[in-house]
Amino acid sequence: MWNCRNRLTHRGYRVLGTCILTGAFIAVSYAPAQNIPLISGGAGFFTRTSGGKTSYIPTIEPLAAAPLGSHALVEGRANLLEDFFPSASGYDHVHFVALTYLQMDYLVGAHATIVAGEYLTPFGSYNERLAPIWIGNFQDPPLTAGLGTGTGSSVGGMLRGSAISTSNYSLDYAAFYSAASSNQNFNSQNSWGGRSSIYVPRARFELGASFSRVNVTAQTNNVAVHAWWEPADSSFKLRSEYDHCTHAQGYWIEADYRLSPFGGPDSALGRLEPVFRWQQVFRNSPDPSDGLPSADTQRIDAGLNYHLPHEVRIITSYSRQLSATGNANLWQTGITYRFLFPTWRGR
Amino acid sequence: MTRYFTSIGLGLLCVAVLPMIAQPPDSAPPNAAASPTTKRDRTNSAQQSDGERKFTQNCGRCHTSPEGFSPAISRTILQHMRVRASLGKQDEEDILHFLNP
């Protein structure tokens, strides 16, 4: 939720509005029964208390997706938030309106999709999969989330898909090239890279590796390896990732266990989900551009989430961060709502 | 500033109103994604089972299944998720059949 890098200008609003309206108009002409454009995403209200000071952050992340026939899809996601924080004169506030991505997907065949536009950088496991506020177990991303993803989005092209998918394993890939762009709405670094991961359904185990080369002032290589494990017939999940760049490295391990075995997922107890995350970052030399803490840092997050009916979720957590730049306690609470509906009635 | 808040307010209003006007009368029942019940024949049933397994293994790795949604957007969801989750064509079809038996 803190990835608010690209602030929309009035021109940006017009561009975004035109793209969505054009996409929707074209989609009307093509849309068969199950192909209606959709609006999805999450809305939330978060609090964040550190050093006795509390900030309040209402936010919404709408996503629109409009198919253009059976092979093409236009999709985009935005982030709107208001941050009310304590100041000398009481409370002050800042607002962000950010376009997270706006891309066009073209399904080339059974194993490949071409993506063009501004897309989420496929590096590591967090940026594409766990960043939406209705998915992530914690309000804050991992300390290493910015490594390899730059601004979070890339502007250019990407080829991705499922290379092999059998009942024993599946292998997917993504390769991208991004141009440097200083445009406020489509901000990105010049970079290229990719990610590949293998998933073994029987073991419910996923192992992936990412690489990116970023050309900013100097060329830097970033590497990440992630491993996820979800034991069969269990609501336990274990996710981990190791990230390495020229000037720093770090890792995070996250575990959650929804108590659904105790009375079912809809019981009072079964709606509870304890979550835990441990992370460390080690810095060997300063680099303000890699997105990692400026000094060695370790942090523990422990929380308790509660899944209410109708896609509503309460998330709470306590974090203790230890760093050479200062230790901190952080209390966070929030409520999120996930929405998903068609833009108009289907035929 | 006033214009900004007005824009935000209008945007939120649109988001709140759209589901009321957009839901078709034949919306999928709650938990349709998690437990569809229609079984036409043995082949369909096998495909259904395949789809459920693939849904759990692919979509369920990151998030819980939606409590319910209109069948009118099931293929759009799958097109979106095919790209995001790098699903193969067969996986997409099986999951679509599971969501929309």
- For the ranges A266-280, B51-65, B80-94, the one whose mean pLDDT is highest: A266-280
Residue A200: pLDDT band by 50, 70, 90 thresholds?
Answer: very high
Contact A162 B88 (CB under 8 A): yes
pLDDT over 50 at A201, yes or no: yes
CA distance B66 to chain A (A): 7
What is the secondary structure of A276-314 as a DSSP string?
EEEEEEEESS--TTS-S-SS-EEEEEEEEEEEETTTEEE
Q: What amino acid is encoded at B23 in this protein?
A: Q
**A177, A160 contact by CB (below 8 A):** no
Task: Read off φ and ψ for residue A10, nearest 5 degrees.
Answer: -60, -35
Residue A298: pLDDT band by 50, 70, 90 thresholds?
Answer: very high
Name chain A contacts of B4, Cβ cutoff 8 Å: 95
pLDDT over 80 at A332, yes or no: yes
Longest dimension (CA), chain B: 61
pLDDT over 70 at A175, yes or no: yes
Query: In this predicted structure, which of A171-175, A200-204, A250-254, A288-292 has the lowest mean pLDDT?
Result: A288-292
The structural domains of chain B, with segments of one domain joined by +, span: 30-99
Tell me how many residue pairs between chain A and chain B have CB atoms under 8 A apart.
132
pLDDT for the residue A5: 41
**A279, A296 contact by CB (below 8 A):** no
A275 CB-near residues (< 8 Å, 6+ apart): A137, A138, A254, A255, A256, A301, A302, A303, A304, A305, A317
Residue A3: pLDDT band by 50, 70, 90 thresholds?
Answer: very low
Residue A346: pLDDT band by 50, 70, 90 thresholds?
Answer: low
pLDDT for the residue A172: 94
Q: Which of A23, A5, A97, A9 is nearest to A67 (CA)?
A: A23
Sketch out chain A's domains with CATH numbers. 10-342 (2.40.160.10)
| Structural tokens at position A278 | 């441990």
Q: How far apart are CA B81 and CA B61, in angstroms?
A: 13
Residue B21: pLDDT band by 50, 70, 90 thresholds?
Answer: very low
Average pLDDT of the segment spanning A284-297: 84
Q: How many CB atoms lie within 10 A of CB A324?
A: 11
pLDDT over 60 at B58, yes or no: yes
Q: How far apart are CA A193 and CA A121, in angstroms?
A: 9
Give A81-123 pLDDT, tens digit per residue.
Answer: 999 999 988 899 999 998 999 999 999 988 999 999 999 999 9
Q: How far apart are CA A231 and CA A240, in angstroms?
A: 15
**A75, A64 contact by CB (below 8 A):** yes
pLDDT for the residue A15: 56
Residue B45: pLDDT band by 50, 70, 90 thresholds?
Answer: low
pLDDT for the residue B20: 39
Q: Which of A137, A135, A125 is nearest to A256 (CA)?
A: A137
pLDDT for the residue A345: 72
The overall pTM is greater than 0.95: no
Mutate to test the interface with A, among B63, B73, B92, B99 (most CBs of A within 10 A): B73
Buried b (16+ CB within 10 A) or exposed e, A191-208: bebbbbbebebeebbbeb
A203 vs B12 pLDDT, higher one: A203
A48 CB-near residues (< 8 Å, 6+ apart): A54, A55, A57, A139, A330, A331, A332
A303 CB-near residues (< 8 Å, 6+ apart): A137, A138, A274, A275, A276, A315, A316, A317, A318, A332
* Helices B89-99 and B74-84, axial angle in degrees (round to 10): 150
Contact B79 A73 (CB under 8 A): yes
Contact A341 B73 (CB under 8 A): yes
Residues making up chain B, counted from first to last: 101
Residue with tokens 């996930």, as numbered in its chain? A338
Q: What amino acid is encoded at A325 in this protein?
A: T
The whole-angstrom distance between residue B46's C-alpha and the CA centroid of its chain comes to 20
pLDDT over 50 at A310, yes or no: yes
Average pLDDT of the segment spanning A322-328: 91
Q: Please name the residue of chain A whose CA is at the shortest distance from the CA of residue B22.
A: A344
| Structural tokens at position B18 | 């759209």
Residue A55: pLDDT band by 50, 70, 90 thresholds?
Answer: very high
**A80, A63 contact by CB (below 8 A):** no
Mutate to test the interface with A, among B79, B94, B98, B100 (most CBs of A within 10 A): B79
Contact A310 B66 (CB under 8 A): no
Give A249-288 pLDDT, tens digit per residue.
Answer: 999 999 999 999 998 889 999 999 999 999 999 998 887 7
Q: Are strands A113-120 and A90-107 parallel, antiparallel or unpaired?
A: antiparallel
Task: Indicate the DSSP class of residue B78.
Answer: H
The residues in A 285-304 lying below 8 A from B, measured between CB atoms, are none
pLDDT for the residue B46: 65
Residue B33: pLDDT band by 50, 70, 90 thresholds?
Answer: very low
Angle at A22 between CA A17 and CA A26, to 5 degrees: 150
Average pLDDT of the segment spanning A171-175: 96
Average pLDDT of the segment spanning A163-168: 90
Contact B72 A36 (CB under 8 A): yes
Give A217-249 pLDDT, tens digit per residue.
Answer: 778 899 999 999 999 888 999 999 999 998 899
User: Mean pLDDT score of chain B, rounded to an integer?
Assistant: 67
